[in-house]
Amino acid sequence: MASASQPELDTNLPGVRLLQEWIRVGLVLQLEMANGSLHEGILQWQDPEFLALQSVGSEWPKLIKRSQVSQISSLSLAKEPTQVTIPSSRPCLPPT
Protein backbone atom coordinates (compact mmCIF):
# COMPACT_ATOMS: atom_id res chain seq x y z
CA MET A 1 0.00 0.00 0.00
CA ALA A 2 1.64 3.24 -1.14
CA SER A 3 1.35 6.27 1.08
CA ALA A 4 0.62 9.66 -0.41
CA SER A 5 3.21 12.28 0.41
CA GLN A 6 1.91 14.71 3.01
CA PRO A 7 2.61 18.40 2.43
CA GLU A 8 4.55 20.06 5.22
CA LEU A 9 3.27 23.13 7.04
CA ASP A 10 5.71 25.89 6.03
CA THR A 11 6.43 27.69 9.30
CA ASN A 12 8.46 30.32 7.42
CA LEU A 13 5.25 31.81 6.02
CA PRO A 14 4.07 34.85 8.01
CA GLY A 15 0.44 33.70 7.91
CA VAL A 16 1.33 30.35 9.47
CA ARG A 17 3.42 32.08 12.16
CA LEU A 18 0.60 34.53 12.93
CA LEU A 19 -1.93 31.70 13.28
CA GLN A 20 0.50 29.90 15.62
CA GLU A 21 0.73 33.07 17.75
CA TRP A 22 -3.07 33.34 17.83
CA ILE A 23 -3.25 29.70 18.95
CA ARG A 24 -0.69 30.40 21.69
CA VAL A 25 -2.55 33.41 23.11
CA GLY A 26 -6.03 31.94 22.68
CA LEU A 27 -7.42 34.63 20.40
CA VAL A 28 -11.11 34.36 19.50
CA LEU A 29 -11.34 34.29 15.71
CA GLN A 30 -14.01 34.59 13.05
CA LEU A 31 -13.48 32.53 9.92
CA GLU A 32 -15.37 33.56 6.80
CA MET A 33 -15.83 30.69 4.39
CA ALA A 34 -15.82 30.87 0.59
CA ASN A 35 -19.62 30.36 0.64
CA GLY A 36 -20.07 33.36 2.99
CA SER A 37 -20.83 31.41 6.18
CA LEU A 38 -19.10 32.48 9.40
CA HIS A 39 -17.53 30.38 12.16
CA GLU A 40 -16.29 31.77 15.50
CA GLY A 41 -14.06 30.17 18.08
CA ILE A 42 -10.53 29.61 19.30
CA LEU A 43 -8.09 27.96 16.94
CA GLN A 44 -6.69 24.82 18.60
CA TRP A 45 -4.22 23.66 15.95
CA GLN A 46 -3.42 23.82 12.26
CA ASP A 47 -1.97 21.43 9.74
CA PRO A 48 -1.44 21.75 5.98
CA GLU A 49 -5.05 20.74 5.23
CA PHE A 50 -7.24 21.66 8.22
CA LEU A 51 -7.79 24.22 10.98
CA ALA A 52 -9.32 23.00 14.26
CA LEU A 53 -11.71 25.68 15.57
CA GLN A 54 -13.18 25.24 19.07
CA SER A 55 -16.54 27.03 19.35
CA VAL A 56 -17.67 28.38 22.73
CA GLY A 57 -19.64 25.69 24.56
CA SER A 58 -18.64 22.96 22.12
CA GLU A 59 -16.97 19.81 23.41
CA TRP A 60 -14.99 19.12 20.22
CA PRO A 61 -13.42 21.44 17.64
CA LYS A 62 -14.70 21.75 14.09
CA LEU A 63 -12.26 20.71 11.40
CA ILE A 64 -12.31 23.36 8.69
CA LYS A 65 -10.61 22.79 5.35
CA ARG A 66 -8.03 25.54 4.79
CA SER A 67 -8.87 25.86 1.11
CA GLN A 68 -12.47 26.82 1.98
CA VAL A 69 -11.50 29.77 4.22
CA SER A 70 -11.58 33.19 2.55
CA GLN A 71 -10.78 35.40 5.58
CA ILE A 72 -9.73 35.09 9.23
CA SER A 73 -10.40 37.98 11.62
CA SER A 74 -9.49 38.35 15.28
CA LEU A 75 -12.41 39.20 17.59
CA SER A 76 -11.03 39.23 21.15
CA LEU A 77 -8.67 37.52 23.53
CA ALA A 78 -9.83 34.46 25.44
CA LYS A 79 -6.85 34.59 27.81
CA GLU A 80 -5.03 37.53 29.37
CA PRO A 81 -4.26 40.26 26.82
CA THR A 82 -0.79 40.17 25.36
CA GLN A 83 0.75 42.02 22.48
CA VAL A 84 0.35 39.89 19.38
CA THR A 85 3.26 40.02 16.96
CA ILE A 86 4.33 37.85 14.10
CA PRO A 87 7.32 35.83 15.34
CA SER A 88 10.26 36.03 12.98
CA SER A 89 13.76 34.63 12.91
CA ARG A 90 14.86 37.55 10.73
CA PRO A 91 16.71 40.46 12.36
CA CYS A 92 14.96 43.83 12.60
CA LEU A 93 15.98 46.54 10.17
CA PRO A 94 18.01 49.38 11.67
CA PRO A 95 16.15 52.69 12.07
CA THR A 96 16.58 55.12 9.20
Q: Give me the residue spans of the domains in the chain.
A: 14-76
Model pTM score: 0.72
Q: What is the mean pLDDT of residues 77-84?
A: 51
In the CATH hierarchy, which top-level class contains the domain 14-76? mainly beta
pLDDT of residue 82: 44
* CB neighbours of residue 53 within 10 Å: 23
pLDDT in tens, 13-52: 999 999 999 999 999 999 999 999 999 999 999 999 999 9
